Amino acid sequence: MVHIAPKHLAHALALLSFLSSANATRNSDLVRVLGPQGVNLWKLRAETTKASKFNLEGTENAQSVLFKTDFRPRWYWVNDRHYNASVGGPVIVIDGGETSGEDRLPFLDTGIAEILAKATGGVGVVLEHRYYGASIPVDNFTTDSLRWLDNEQSAADSANFMANVKFDGIEEDLTAPNTPWIYYGGSYAGARAAHMRILYPELVYGAIASSAVTHAALSNWEYMEVIRLAADPKCSSHLENSIKTIDQILDHRIFVGRLKALFGLKDLEHDEDFVALLESPLGSWQSKVWDPTVGDKTFDKFCEALNGHANVAIAELPFNHTSRMVTVAEGFRVDFAIVNYAKWIKQHIVSECPSDKTVEQAFPPGKHFTVPSLPNVTAVNALGDFDLAADRLAFIDGAVDPWRPDTPHSDYAKDREDTILRPFKLIPGAVHHWDEYGLENILEEPHEILKIHGEMIGFVQDWLKDWKAPSKV
């Protein structure tokens, strides 16, 4: 049986079925059995007692009622077209990460979940992350409502799913640890995949962490440096010199107003907001994909616009050459590349911003929760940082991924040996979690992608050869 069309794929997950009498369960038992999720249930009960925000009673069945206390149903999608009952798994689960689970469905249909499930006779699953897609646990996104969005509790969500899910149409018990689960994620979800292997080794038999940002930092200039070195040299030079000139103007203050007006931002007060906006086109680099049908061309179009000039000879002159200068206001002249930069920002970003909309403060202090002034990077890095490693934990990265400096393939990290038990692979010319994408006919994939997919099939199959079902007590 195959479940691919979204309207047939979505299942409201009733986690924790073994606690069908949740309303009668003592708080101490919830904490003991469920860890952070137990604390979460206790908090929600307290909120319900005070404000009757959540209806814990009603006509729903026990599982639905229980899961509603534990933040309403999470959604998941299943591909069981290759499931072989005689093999009994594995389950290849894709962590949905910071987006709707529906955005990950291509990876279930033709991407890495399909590729690995087909090679192993397993089941592919996309599991949506709390607070995204249809898995919204709250009625609004106030500061107080976001207090349950954290790494520890979202990891516990995944663990509970693995330990308790029952797939429609499959009679066999495919829960962990009775079935080998291979946990896959890309980017933030890649770090989650690595963390799941560390935090729940009894449930996660193996994990593949693609573009996994296991290192958390307060600043990340290296992200831009990867782009600067990998982009088209002419575009990179124009961008670098434009930013250098803009920085000088901001430092000397004389033409700041005229500069911002050039970009369509004459009323923007804070320089920090202005320069942050100028970074916007660079963020599209990470959306470049080897498959042209899904890849984002924004960065290439930006570079084409930045480099553009009607006179090729002038365009080849050094930056700030007299012949390249354009008068944009009385006494204010800049290189044509800066003018092109400003046109791009105005057309593609400023034009999309309503003139009557402003934000005084995002997420002000709430009654129960206040957003910290700085993120707790120590809590993330304590799980392994650049050195995070375990048997049956694979790290796969792209050589020109701007997030690579925050992965175990960072130049700051120690080099590692690439082995079957601990795969450590770098895809030449690749950007962000390129291995997650796939074609219906895998043989039509580019050489480097076909190669990495073949290697992934190989080490997962080898991992599964060593799997043994837990002994029954």
pLDDT (tens digit, 9 = 90+) per residue, 179-214?
Answer: 999 999 999 999 999 999 999 999 999 999 999 999
User: In this predicted model, what pLDDT tens digit does every residue of 432-459 receive, in sequence order?
Assistant: 999 999 999 999 999 999 999 999 999 9
Among 113, 81, 101, 84, which residue's Cα sits nearest to residue 179? Answer: 84
Cβ(197)–Cβ(204) below 8 Å: yes
For residues 280-290, give the mean pLDDT.
96
CA atoms within 13 A on the CB side of 14: 15
**Three-class secondary structure of residue 205 per DSSP:** coil
Residue linked to tokens 């949506």: 128
Q: In whole angstroms, give the CA distance from residue 260 to residue 275.
A: 10
Among 404, 434, 410, which residue's Cα sits nearest to residue 227? Answer: 404
Q: Catalytic residues, which ones?
A: 187, 401
List, in sequence order, the alpha helices (H) in 253-383.
256-262, 271-278, 298-307, 312-315, 336-348, 377-381
For residues 299-322, give the mean pLDDT.
96
Residue 464: CB atoms within 10 Å: 20
Q: How confident is the model at residue 473 (pLDDT cuts 50, 70, 90)?
A: low
For residues 54-80, give the mean pLDDT.
44
pLDDT at 5 over 60: no
Q: How confident is the model at residue 359 (pLDDT cuts 50, 70, 90)?
A: low
User: What pairs with residue 77 in β-bridges?
Assistant: 126
User: In this predicted model, what pLDDT tens digit does every residue of 84-110 receive, in sequence order?
Assistant: 998 877 999 999 999 999 999 999 999
pLDDT at 356 over 60: yes
Residue 115: CB atoms within 10 Å: 24
Question: In this predicted model, which residue has the larger pLDDT, 42 or 52?
Answer: 42
pLDDT at 41 over 70: no
Mean pLDDT check: name the lowest of 101-110, 133-142, 329-338, 383-392: 133-142
User: In this predicted model, what pLDDT tens digit does every residue of 118-172 receive, in sequence order?
Assistant: 999 999 999 999 999 999 988 999 999 999 999 999 999 999 999 999 999 999 9
For residues 405-428, give the mean pLDDT.
98
Q: In whole angstroms, give the CA distance from residue 94 to residue 96.
A: 6
Share of the chain above pLDDT 70, in %: 83
pLDDT at 36 over 90: no
Element (H, E) at 158: helix 151-164
The phi-psi region of residue 103 (left if phi > 0; otherwise alpha if psi is between -120 and 50; otherwise beta) is alpha
What pLDDT sits at residue 336? 98
* Domains delineated in the chain: 6-16+70-217+384-465 (3.40.50.1820), 222-352 (no CATH)
User: What pairs with residue 13 in β-bridges?
Assistant: 74
What pLDDT sits at residue 74? 67
Please give the structure tokens belonging to residue 303.
């570079």
Question: In this predicted model, which residue has the larger pLDDT, 399 or 6?
Answer: 399
User: In this predicted model, what pLDDT tens digit does every residue of 215-266 receive, in sequence order?
Assistant: 999 999 999 999 999 999 999 999 999 999 999 999 999 999 999 999 999 9
For residues 364-384, give the mean pLDDT.
94
pLDDT at 293 over 70: yes
Tell me the average pLDDT of the chain. 85
Global pTM value: 0.84
What pLDDT sits at residue 132? 94
What pLDDT sits at residue 201? 98
